[in-house]
Structure 1
C-alpha cells in the first residue's frame, strides 16, 4: 500500500480564471517511495470557525450564521467551503501541484457570508482528501486514497478579498427569487432609474423615511 501524506503550502488567486478561483498549493509525499503513476485526487474543504477569535464588528456580522454569541459554544459548527478535484501526474517521493478551487460570492451561501464578515486574520480550513492512486513497481494497480487523509491550513482573509476584488471590483452579488426580480424590474422601469444601485438606494431611502415617522 502507498503511504501518502498531504500538506497545503499556500494559496493565491487564479489570475486568469473564467470565474473566482483560488489555487491551493499541495505538497504530496509517498513516504514508502512507491512509484505513483497517476492520482485522481478529490478534496473537500471545510471552514472550522471555532478555531479562531473574532473582533466585535465580526461578531455582529456573523449573527445570521451562528446566532447570538452566547450560543456560539454550540453553533460554531464546520461550514462546507468547496469540493475540488485534480489529476496528479506520476511521481516518486514528493511532488507539488496547484489545486484549483472555484469560489462563489453568492451571499446566500454560508461560506461566502462567513468570508465577508471577517475583517482581518486567517480562515481556519480543513482539507480532506479521497480518490484513487495508481501505483506499482512491477505492474499497475489502483488503490483508494484513505478517507482519513487530511491537513489543516490557515488561509489569510486578504487572499479571499484580493480574489473577490479581482473578479468583482467594488461590487457585490445578490441572489433573489424570480418574482422579486421582476417586481424590481417594473419598479425601475416605471421610474426610469438608470441603474440597479439607484433602485436599491431609492427603496432604502423610502424605508428610512417611513422609519423616522
Structure 2
C-alpha cells in the first residue's frame, strides 16, 4: 500500500459560488510506483487561536469567545471549524485536488465570530485528514484507511475571508433574531417611520449612547 502525505497549498475565495465558499487546494503524494485508484477523502478543519497574537481591538471582539485577555491561558483552545469531504480521482505519484470550505457570516457561529474579530494577519488552521484509499490488490482492488496522523497547518490571510464576505454581503452582515425581537423591532420601525431595520437599530443605539453620556 502506498504511503500518503497531504499538504494545503493555497486557499482562495470562490467567486462564482451561490453561497460563501473558500477553496483549499490540496497537494497529495503517494510513494512508490503503485497507482491510487481513488480516495474518499474526509477532512476536519480546526482553528488554532494560540498560534497568533491579538491587538486590543481584536481582544475586545473575542471577549464573548475567550473572556478577558488575562483568562486566555485557560480559555483559548483549538476548536472545530467544519467537516468537509471530496473524492480524489486516480493518480500515480502526486496530484492536486480542490476542497470546498463552506463559510457563513452568522455571528452565532463560533468560527464566524472569531473571524470577524480579526483585523489583520492570518487565521491559523489545522487540517486533519482521514478517509478511504482504493488501490490495486490481489482481487482487482484493495482498500485501506488514511492514517490517523495525516495533517497539515495553514495560515489563511484574514483579508481572504473578508474579501469573501464583501463579495457575498457587500457593506452588510447577517444577524439572526427571535420572532418576538423581530416583531418588536418591526413595530418600533413602523411607529417612527424609519425606512429599514438598519435605521431602527441605529436609532436604538443612538438613544442608548445618549442616555449613557448623561
Q: TM-score range by the shorter chain?
A: over 0.9
Which residue number corresponds to residue 146 of structure 1? 147
Tell me the distance in 2 between the aligned counterparts of 1:12 and 1:98: 10
| 1:172 Cα deviation after fit | 1.0
Which residue number corresponds to residue 130 of structure 1? 130
Tell me the distance in 2 between the aligned counterparts of 1:32 and 1:75: 44
Which residue number corresponds to residue 198 of structure 2? 197
RMSD between aligned alpha carbons?
1.4
Q: The residue matched to 2:130 in structure 1 has which SS?
A: strand
| 1:117 Cα deviation after fit | 1.1
- Which 4+ runs in 1 deviate beyond 4 A? none
Runs of 5+ consecutive residues of structure 1 not aligned to the other structure: none
Which residue number corresponds to residue 72 of structure 1? 72
Runs of 5+ consecutive residues of structure 2 not aligned to the other structure: none
Equivalent pair of 1:82/1:103 in contact (CA under 8 Å): no
Farther-moved stretch of structure 1 (142-151 vs 182-191): 182-191
Q: 1:178 to 1:34 in 2, by over 3 A?
A: farther
| 1:107 Cα deviation after fit | 0.7
Q: The residue matched to 2:149 in structure 1 has which SS?
A: coil
Equivalent pair of 1:35/1:137 in contact (CA under 8 Å): no
Q: Does 1:7 align with 2:28?
A: no
| 1:32 Cα deviation after fit | 3.1
Which residue number corresponds to residue 159 of structure 1? 160
Q: How does 1:48-197 map to 2 (within 5 A)?
A: 48-136=48-136, 139-197=140-198
Deviations 1:68-101 (A, max 9, x none): 1111112111122121111111101100111111
| 1:210 Cα deviation after fit | 2.5
